[in-house]
Homo-oligomer: A and B are copies of this chain.
Amino acid sequence: MALLTSEMADVAGSINKALEAILPPVDGYESQVVDAMRYALLSGGKRLRPFLVLASASLFDVPTPRATRVACALECIHTYSLIHDDLPCMDDDDVRRGLPTTHKKYDEATAILAGDALLTLAFEIIADEKTHHEPLVRTELISSLARESGSHGMVGGQMIDMLANSIELDIGAVARLQQMKTGALIRFAVEAGAIMGRATKDQKHALHNYAHDLGLAFQITDDLLDINGDPAQLGKAVGKDGDKETFVSLLGEDRARMQANMLADQAVIHLEHFDEKAELLRLLPHFVINRRN
């Protein structure tokens, strides 16, 4: 795991640098929204999704600067979703990554606009020729990212999550919610490498299945941390799930933990036809289920 954690730290560093370069501070009265975008975007985080983009791209020897741009775009989408999800009318969170959430640091209007602008920026980054010399690859990335993050993907999942206090979800419905809300961006992260690398259909299929199992394992671990995690280590409040049905409330802690383990094992098996370049992707699932934040 030492290899993985040191690689993840390297990726986080290079992503932070790239994001800083993509989104410099500006003059003019609109600087407030750019400052808020920077505040949310550059406030740390594990950069798990960017790491997945880079790791999947490296399977196909995609040049790192290209993969880095796609990783930055994805992090813009992830960050916008955190800003909007933290708003008082959504999950009403005051702390994120150990810092005041964007609407606490600025105000609600600025937070909404910063989210909107980050979402928009993601597509601007990918559409630029610096991301890939073939426009068709860029449009494929954009199509995939938009599909996974829109009403049939992440936003749809957040909508269901908002309703989850008032509707009864069974285990299948919780799994679907989470495949939309959390799984969608993880799927895109892994698919992005395959798109840039012109993967075969079989390779895409294997990576898709890997992302599916990894996403669920990640979410089950999130549900466990909401119950057992340490707010100081997590950098956010716990016990937020309240009366909502989660994997843990439906399966119990022990079975949820077993399920996460099983999914992590299974994720690794999906990669069996890849060579040693897939080593980091093979290490990730068990890292994810054993994380403390």
Contacts and interface: CB of A to CB of B under 8 A. Distances in A.
Interface of A: 26, 28-30, 32-34, 37, 80, 84, 87, 89-90, 107-110, 112-113, 115-117, 119-121, 123-124, 127-129, 134-136, 138-140, 142-143, 146-147, 149-152, 155-160, 162-163, 167, 173, 176-177, 180
Given A29-B173, A135-B139, A116 B113 contact: no
Summarize A's interface: helix, strand, loop or mixed.
helix
Contacts of A135: 134-136, 138-139
B155 A113 contact: yes
Contacts of A156: 28, 30, 33-34, 117
A159 to B, nearest CB: 4
A119 B26 CA distance: 24
Contact of A117 (B28, B117, B150, B167): B150
Nearest to A121: B150
B142 A84 contact: no
A89 B116 contact: no
A124 B150 contact: yes
Interface centre among A33, A80, A116 (most CB of B within 10 A): A116
A139 B162 contact: no
